[in-house]
Chains A and B, each alone.
Chain A
Amino acid sequence: MNNDKNALDRRSFLKASLLSGGGMMLTVSFLSSFKSADKAEALNLPDQWAELNGYIQITADNRIKLVCPNPEFGQNVMTSLPMIVAEELDADWKNVTVEMGPHDNVKLGPQFSGGSNSVRMYWKPLREAGAAARQMLREAAAQTWNVPVGEVTTKAGVLSHSSGKTAKYGQMAAKAATLPVPKDLVLKSPKDFTIVRKSKKNVEGLKVVTGKPLFGLDYRMEGMLIAMIQHPPGFGMKLKSFDAAEALKMPGIKDVFSLKLYEEGFEQAGFDTRTFNDLLVIVGKSTWEVMNARKKLVAQWEPAGEVKDTMAGRDGKRIVTVPGALESSQTQMAQMAEYAKKPAQELRKDGDPESAFKNAAQVIERTYTAPFLAHNCMEPMNYFAHVTDEKALLVGPLQSPGWIEPTISKLLNLPPEKIEIQMTRMGGGFGRRAYNHYLSEAALISRKVKAPVKLIYTREDDMTYGIYRPMYTATYRAALDANKKLIGFHVKGGGVPEHPIHANRFPAGAVDNYLAEGWQIPSNVTIGAFRAPRSNFNAAAEQSFLDEVAEAMGKDPIQFRLELLKKAKENPVGKNNDYDADRYAGVLELVRDKSGWGKPGSEKYSRGVAAYFCHNSYAAHIVDIVTRDGQPYVERVFSAMDCGIVINPEAATNMVQGAVVDGIGNAFYGALTHKDSAAQQTNFDNYRLIRHNEAPKKIEVHFVQNDIDPTGLGEPPFPPVFGAVANALYKNKGRRFYNQPFKPELDKAI
């Protein structure tokens, strides 16, 4: 059953893939591209892998290797994606080992981790891969036993026939690998699943707890040098000149030079965003030596002025003007307040909102703001590169090898077949590692010094030269008539440098007179995707606002939302409403029932609710705040999710709990601010991340049970946390919180 409200996301994803310059396949034709083995004899050794397709290899001694196509950044794809294959293959999970695949978009599909797309995008192709291999194994057994294939059954990696013949998959693998890939496949009914929906441990768990070298920063090669980049002190600045004499005297230092990342007119793909173009590079033998010597670099910086970037686009290349001013957060905030008053671009209009507001008995208007956020992946940006005139080997953490390969090919003037990109486990991603300028930088540095190089960003580099979550604001207005009925809804959102509005999301479709508008302020601060882009702000603002509107109407906040959703379902306003009202209501009802909302027993808590739909899944949270040492503390959270079939329940619960913690942390503390273009937070001593004692004691996660094709989970639980926290804070403090992060606002209140 496919009930995936994905139209918008799929479109934006297509756009993204196109901007990135190709290399992606949205219609996965992995099976047709896969060639069967030529000869069975080639595979007659017991430990030789017979490759049934790009995802499945089996040895004669019955070991099964499943290849994970997508990079792992903690969303647990290395376990969940192979589980999907193993399910349809009917493999015995105990015999399965998992390997991270090579970069091969032809054989392994898009290989993009992000947009909560891994499971959603690979669900069908991986089931087909498993089912096809199982069919080939059955065919091989049927031929060997001389029985009709329809009589060969499988269970947990064993082929059987009613005559009593049995064989392990390994015994038939070599023969199966020579057979044609079947065209017509029958997939299992969800009720027959034996692996999917049963919790499986992280396949790399043992390596994680024993400290094995899994991450890019752990990668080494004989003769490898360490490189770091000295960036300008702020955005809008560039390198004027430098003196490396003292740095070069330091032990272990090999070279200091400046390097241009993109030459004039270089056509950047959509994810080629970079913070700076003129790089001052220092290369040496060891990390500590380079860190130290770097302090001896003497550099002069100058204003970069207005910069013209050439960007690839669907309709050919276009020139983007990057302003040159040295920006500060304070002035950006003031600028946002000013822009908010100006006319904006209309994004959606239903009915006659102007009249509704003119005739309203009561208008509620509230403005919300949120700052830039740094991703702060625990493993700072890094990449290994070994580039020669003939080829390039690139190893490290990234979310989408297919997006960077065309750029690398152009930068190094090497054909794609001479470029090998390997994906290490990522120490976090959150969107940051979709922007692989650090890989391009490493490659150019390696070519320059003619040696294998690992480029390392220090924590300070990582934080101060990021690809940030934009700064956002939105003003919401609600029009109530004399009977306190909601007759008009207006959202006008903007940001630096993009607006946050998803015009077709709830409550669009539920209000007769609706208007959504957006505006943006250009900036030289680099921005990009951050866990649930735009939604991570919208859900905070909109869900706080709905709470306030419900209160003004004298309604329970959950009941109010359910009434709006009922209308959106039975009598939807407008077209292209981006959500399924039933599923949206479903998570609200589930969290209401599981948390005992409105029932006795939770009097000690200040409770706040919020729900949101994004990235094709539905989430609702109830946040319970207590006062601890005079401060509001989120002690308990109830979460309800609808992401269709849950592949790996315990890991899914972990993911939702993590998103809740992440949301609470960013709601209270997250902020990256600038003064005269320089970041004011440089490390974890002044950029506050949520810690163990600030996380809830309990986060209870519930999933709506259905047989809908699975959608993602990395992003959807994150955005509504902010709204639920804001609404619970109101109950706790008796006043509303409109500006993130909330902690400084709280401190002001005391």
Chain B
Amino acid sequence: MCAFLLHLHFIGTLLPIENINTVATFNLKINGKPRTVDVDPATPMLWVLRDHLDLPGTKYGCGIAQCGACTIHLEGNAVRSCQLPVSAVGKSPITTIEGLSEKAEHPVQKAWLEHDVAQCGYCQAGQIMTAAALLKRNPNPSDEEIEAQMSGNICRCGTYVKIKEAVKSAAKK
């Protein structure tokens, strides 16, 4: 968990404290497609995705990088989109849950279905994005590595046992 929390902390320092009353144009690459938005540069990617690009799969849970519901991939790394201002994205490609695989063909999505992980399901997009980034970096994580890496994502329904089973079974594929 430490590695990406540090990363998030770094991004956090770029976030302007107060909003700027200007609107700028941003050319983004999201789920492999070019997307353009005209927004306040301080707008977190979470709200750019949800309010401006009609990609509501990325969820709002806390707004302060504590729960992980808003996890997306920035250049393949899991980041908290609630703390990532659109102005900090630059040319880095972004993947959201909608872009991981539309038909649930990604091994992590498949494992989530196989283990029927979800209860309410609200946090699961974030869980899946964190797990997908983890397995890309470390295709064979130990139980302890899974526990540490997945601990930034809160599941209020308490599906952690199932999440661990699913990550382990996705790792085998």
- Interfacial residues, chain A to chain B (CB-CB below 8 A): 72-76, 199, 201-202, 204-206, 208-215, 217-218, 220, 226, 250-251, 286-289, 291-292, 376-380, 425-430, 458-459, 650-651, 654-655, 657-662, 665, 683-685, 689-699
Q: Is the CB of A458 within 8 A of B63?
A: yes
10 smallest beta-carbon distances between A and B, as pairs: A211-B57, A661-B158, A427-B122, A74-B120, A211-B97, A74-B119, A658-B158, A208-B121, A684-B66, A695-B160
Which residues on the B side are within 8 Å of A655 (C-beta)?
119
- Interfacial residues, chain B to chain A (CB-CB below 8 A): 19, 21, 23, 39-40, 43-44, 47, 50-52, 54-64, 66-67, 69, 96-98, 100-104, 109, 112-113, 116-125, 128, 143, 146-148, 150-164
Closest to A213 in B: B56
Instruction: Return B15 CB to nearest CB of chain A, in Å.
Output: 12
Q: Is the CB of A251 within 8 A of B21?
A: yes
Most B-side CB within 10 Å, residue of A204, A429, A459, A655: A459
Q: Is the CB of B164 within 8 A of A692?
A: yes
CB contact under 8 A between A204 and B40, given known A459-B62, A692-B153: no
Main DSSP-derived SS at the B contact region: loop
Q: Is the CB of B122 within 8 A of A215?
A: yes
Which residues on the B side are within 8 Å of A659 (C-beta)?
158
CB contact under 8 A between A251 and B154, given known A379-B122, A699-B161: no
Q: Is the CB of A251 within 8 A of B40?
A: yes
* CB-contact partner of B157 in A213, A428, A693, under 8 A: A428
Which residues on the A side are within 8 Å of B57 (C-beta)?
210-213
Closest to A427 in B: B122
Which residues on the B side are within 8 Å of A695 (C-beta)?
158, 160-161
CB contact under 8 A between A220 and B54, given known A210-B102, A378-B156, A658-B159: yes
Q: Is the CB of B63 within 8 A of A288?
A: no
A287 to B119, CA, bound (A): 27
Q: Is the CB of A217 within 8 A of B119?
A: no
Which residues on the A side are within 8 Å of B64 (C-beta)?
459, 683-685
| Contacts A208-B112, A210-B103, A286-B52 supplied; 4 other A-B pairs, CB < 8 Å | A209-B104, A378-B123, A657-B161, A684-B154
* CB-contact partner of B161 in A250, A289, A698, under 8 A: A698
A657 to B43, CA, bound (A): 38
A380 to B44, CA, bound (A): 18
Most B-side CB within 10 Å, residue of A201, A213, A692: A692
Q: Is the CB of B163 within 8 A of A380?
A: no
Instruction: Return A425 CB to nearest CB of chain B, in Å.
Output: 7
Q: Is the CB of B147 within 8 A of A426?
A: no
Q: Is the CB of B120 within 8 A of A201?
A: no
Closest to A206 in B: B104
* CB-contact partner of A661 in B59, B104, B160, under 8 A: B160
Q: Is the CB of B124 within 8 A of A208?
A: yes
* CB-contact partner of B47 in A205, A286, A378, A426, under 8 A: A286
Q: Is the CB of A214 within 8 A of B121?
A: yes
Which residues on the B side are within 8 Å of A205 (C-beta)?
112-113, 116, 118
Q: Is the CB of B120 within 8 A of A691?
A: no
Q: Is the CB of A378 within 8 A of B67?
A: yes
CB contact under 8 A between A217 and B44, given known A74-B119, A683-B64, A690-B158: no
Most B-side CB within 10 Å, residue of A211, A659, A662: A211
